[in-house]
Amino acid sequence: MRKRFSRLRDGLAKTRRAITEGIRGALGRGAGLDGAALDSIEETLIAADLGVETALHLIDALRERFGASGAATEVEVREFLALEIEKALRAAEKEGAQGEPGAPLVVMVAGVNGVGKTTTIGKLSRLHADKGRSVILAAADTFRAAANEQLSIWADRSDAQFVAGQPGGDAAAVAYDALDAAIARSADVLIVDTAGRLHTQKNLMQELVKVKRVLGKRLESAPDELLLVIDANTGQNALSQARVFDEALGLTGLVLTKLDGTARGGIVVAIARELAIPVQFVGTGEAIDDLEPFDSAAFARGLLGVDEAPPEIA
Ligand SMILES: Nc1nc2c(ncn2[C@@H]2O[C@H](COP(=O)(O)OP(=O)(O)OP(=O)(O)O)[C@@H](O)[C@H]2O)c(=O)[nH]1
Ligand SMILES: [Mg+2]
């Protein structure tokens, strides 16, 4: 537990540094939370990719809370913002799907090229396997030649079974066959990998819609989860990606990858608040255990540097 907590904290380090330094700078002029300080905090929040709308909302809340006297310490401002952000994240929270009793939980994973879909699937597979569930991974990315091999390596690493796709073949057929196999073998979880790039974005969407539809033909409840993977470095464009995929597919959740090394982790808050799609997992590295279930409170506190964890005992 301790380890997971610090991994999220480490992942948020750059974003946290930018935000806390911004708040310190805004208050450092000694005039409290006056108009200039609020403007400066607003800029800081926007720079960390919380989004203009969310930043304005937070500034309004700050003004309301501390406006009368303008007196506020840096810690008070950080704690207040952490609570407000936690509230916004909680509003988008949703219970994860359980799947139909007696049928596999079917998770379809989508996202644009290179965001970390296949890697996330490997990590997710490991999380399920660690809970004693049998997992099948399906390579419905028939577009990229190396996609099969990459996913089969993750299947090995996470003790999952693997259903291969035909390069250049029909992605929906792979998904259908894999679900068929998952049902026949009484697997607990089926995770379907999909392509990130086709000739055009429109082709990609059509293919994904077809994969989804075909899964539903084999098992009415499928897919139980439709996860969009987003690279945390994408910034505000992540919002439009989420909108486009949500309109076409109906997303049940997001996975935010590459949180390690970005100073733009605030995008999580913007998406949760503006699109009301819950973040389900965050990726904090390239290794198999660098994925963790999203925790609104831990994320908000990590972002604002509240409740600093005690130093690791050597
Ligand atoms: N630092 C870091 N790297 C990650 C993370 N998740 C994925 N990556 C890396 O991102 C790169 C692309 O990952 P893939 O999983 O192949 O991405 P994809 O979305 O499946 O790519 P396509 O199938 O080509 O669309 C790889 O080098 C991964 O190791 C993460 O959370 N942190
Ligand atoms: Mg891939």
pLDDT tens, position by position, 180-218: 999 999 999 999 999 998 767 788 999 999 999 999 999
CA 197 to ligand 1 center in whole angstroms: 14
The predicted pLDDT at position 264 comes to 86
Q: Which residues of 36-60 are buried (b: 16+ CB within 10 A; e: fewer)?
A: ebbebbbebbbbbbbbeebbebbbe
CA 22 to ligand 2 center in whole angstroms: 37
Mutate which of 286, 289, 292, 294 for ligand 1 pocket (most atoms within 8 A of beta carbon): 286
Residue type, 169: G
- Closest residue CA from atom 17 of ligand 1: 116
Measured from the CB, is residue 253 less than 6 Å from ligand 1?
A: no
Which atom of ligand 1 sits closest to the CA of residue 285?
Answer: 32
The predicted pLDDT at position 122 comes to 98
User: Of the ligands numbered here, which is closest to the C-alpha atom of 122?
Assistant: 1
- Closest residue CA from atom 29 of ligand 1: 286
Q: Half-sphere exposure (CA, 13 Å, Cβ side) for 240?
A: 4
Domain boundaries, the chain: 2-92, 105-294
Asked whether this chain's domains 2-92 and 105-294 adopt the same fold, the reply is no
**CA-based nearest residue to 50, from 296, 218, 271:** 271
**CA-based nearest residue to 248, from 226, 269, 276:** 226
pLDDT per 10-residue tile (average), the chain, 314 residues: 66 92 92 92 94 94 87 93 94 81 95 96 97 97 90 97 90 97 97 87 91 97 96 90 93 93 87 88 94 93 80 48
- Closest residue CA from atom 13 of ligand 1: 116
pLDDT tens, position by position, 30-45: 888 999 999 999 999 9
The predicted pLDDT at position 2 comes to 44
Cα–Cα distance, 195 to 138 (Å, whole number):
12
Which atom of ligand 1 sits closest to the CA of residue 257?
Answer: 31
Measured from the CB, is residue 118 less than 6 Å from ligand 1?
A: yes
Cα–Cα distance, 218 to 179 (Å, whole number):
7
The predicted pLDDT at position 309 comes to 52
Q: What phi and psi, each to the nearest 5 degrees, are found at residue 50?
A: -75, -10
Measured from the CB, is residue 28 less than 6 Å from ligand 1?
A: no
Cα–Cα distance, 208 to 204 (Å, whole number):
6
User: Of the ligands numbered here, which is closest to the C-alpha atom of 151?
Assistant: 2
Tell me yes or no: is domain 105-294 CATH 3.90.1150.10: no
Q: How far is CA 96 from CA 60, 91, 220, in A?
A: 32, 15, 18
pLDDT tens, position by position, 132-143: 999 999 999 998
User: Of the ligands numbered here, which is closest to the C-alpha atom of 256?
Assistant: 1
Tell me yes or no: is domain 2-92 CATH 2.40.128.110: no
